[in-house]
Amino acid sequence: MQRTIDVAATIDARRIGGFQLRVFLLCAAVLFVDGFDVQGITYVAPAISQDWKLARGALGPTFSAGLFGVMLGAILLAPLADRIGRRRVIIWSCIAFGVGTLATVGVGSLTELLIVRFLTGLGLGGALPNAIGLASEYAPKPRRATVVTFVGSGISLGAIGSGIAAAQLIAPYGWRALFVVGGVLPLVLAAALWRGLSESLRFAALVPGQQTEARRLLAKLTRGDVLEQDVRIVSGDPEGGKTTVADLFKDHRGATTVLLWIAFFMSLLNVYFAINWLPTSLTSSGFDVTQAAVMTTFYHVGGVAGTYALGLLMDRLGAHRMQIVAMVVAIGGLYVFATVAGMTQWTTTAVLMLVGFGVVGGQVGVNALASMTYPVAMRSTGLGWALGVGRVGSIVGPTIGGLMLASAHDPRSVYLVCIAPSIVGIAAVALLKRRAGAAAALGTAASTSH
């Protein structure tokens, strides 16, 4: 008889080893260069506006064009990984947005900048969901939220790195220097990924033609010999390589998918409203460009702290519960930032760290929820579409912010708008928690009856 090995059970039963750590670190590096690029355009926005003599808020369409590209990349490119594998999509996405970022160095007008940012966004959109998906598929179930949020923190770390680079490069070398660094990093990383990043073992086990690769990856994971040809590697999921977006609505997943999309939309609306206009709001409030870069960097430090804290607590206290806590913290921080006048630089920085804790940490938490919701065969499609729909929010957020900033007497007051999406997001996550609890109870009842 043919012997079978269930890789899902194998991964869940083992402690995290060196092979998995390498995958996690490389996926975190992908999100680092993603965050560096996405945040870079916001750090240089005040300098571009001064250089090209633009009105406040004039870069709003450029921000939105880049995020529209990210949305299309998430919807059109990310799901390819459920057919051809995560590794190739991640590598080619890094190459695409690295080249696009380098091309930004040569732009000379708003129109050219808008086009290049759109094309760069396509590559960015394909990288993020697949890096998260790949990491989650090598994470044992008891540590999955922790791993996903650790990898997701790469976005905030990249944003911090971009802020540090902006503070050091813009004044002496001009704003284009930041895009040189931001373009070289993903190209160097793509070479490292080509040599060191492994395909998802769970995905390989689901694709009929990938059994040889699955046996090789299992040997790496367990530090054992490659198994004989008569051993079949399986995973507790439907066969992979055939997923379509329609599958996200089958088998009673429709309501869950819609609720996830609402949570992503509201979360990313707030994330990009805050990220894209924070340096501009701070400079318009009287801080100089360097101070604004430092304060925005600390906002992302708060995001990293929120990411790690939520990740550790999600596996212990429940993912949905901690996601709601993050959004409540965000509401409190946003209200103080928008309404309390006369705060010093460091008082404002402390409040922004609290906002980052809830807003950025909460977005990584939503990614973790999505990675736990869908089976392996459709995980990249599920994450890609959730992020793609969420990117509509990321386009709406900066657009609203730009329109409001153009006429606002107090630039910080516009952040009161972000409280409403947070409330809607809380409601969506609460309903997701209820559905997950009902599904778990149904599963327990079914197993008891047998």
pLDDT class for 91, splitting at 50, 70, 90?
very high
Q: Mean pLDDT score of the chain, rounded to an integer?
A: 87
Tens of pLDDT, residue by residue over 338-397, are: 998 888 889 999 999 999 999 988 988 898 888 888 887 788 888 888 988 888 888 888
Provide the β-strand partners of residue 355. Answer: none
Q: What is the phi/psi pair of residue 5, to 5°?
A: -130, 125
Determine the 3-state secondary structure of 5 from DSSP. Answer: strand
Instruction: Name the most confidently modeled range: 56-60, 242-246, 272-276, 421-425.
Output: 421-425
Tens of pLDDT, residue by residue over 349-363, are: 999 999 999 998 898
Query: How many residues can be counted in the chain?
Result: 450
Tens of pLDDT, residue by residue over 151-204, are: 988 988 898 899 889 889 988 999 999 999 999 999 999 999 999 999 999 888
Count of H-run helices and E-run strands, the chain: 16, 2
Domain ranges, ordered by start, for the chain: 3-438
pLDDT recorded at residue 364: 84
Residue 446 has pLDDT above 50, yes or no: no
Q: What is the CA radius of gyration of the chain?
A: 22
Q: How many CA atoms lie within 13 A of 388 on its CB side?
A: 20
Q: Which residues of 69-80 are buried (b: 16+ CB within 10 A; e: fewer)?
A: bbbbbbbebbbb
Residue 209: what residue type? G
d(CA 333, CA 331): 6
Give 437's contacts (C-beta < 8 A, 6+ positions apart): none
Question: Would you state the structure tokens that stand for residue 338, as one six-digit string?
Answer: 């928008």
Give 439's contacts (C-beta < 8 A, 6+ positions apart): none
pLDDT recorded at residue 444: 45
Distances from the Cα of 306 to the Cαs of 9, 127, 236, in angstroms?
30, 23, 32
E strands in 208-268: 231-234
Question: Would you state the structure tokens that stand for residue 191, as one six-digit string?
Answer: 């070479």
d(CA 447, CA 343): 58
d(CA 292, CA 279): 5
Tens of pLDDT, residue by residue over 41-51, are: 888 888 898 89
CATH (residue range 3-438): 1.20.1250.20
Provide the β-strand partners of residue 6. Answer: 234
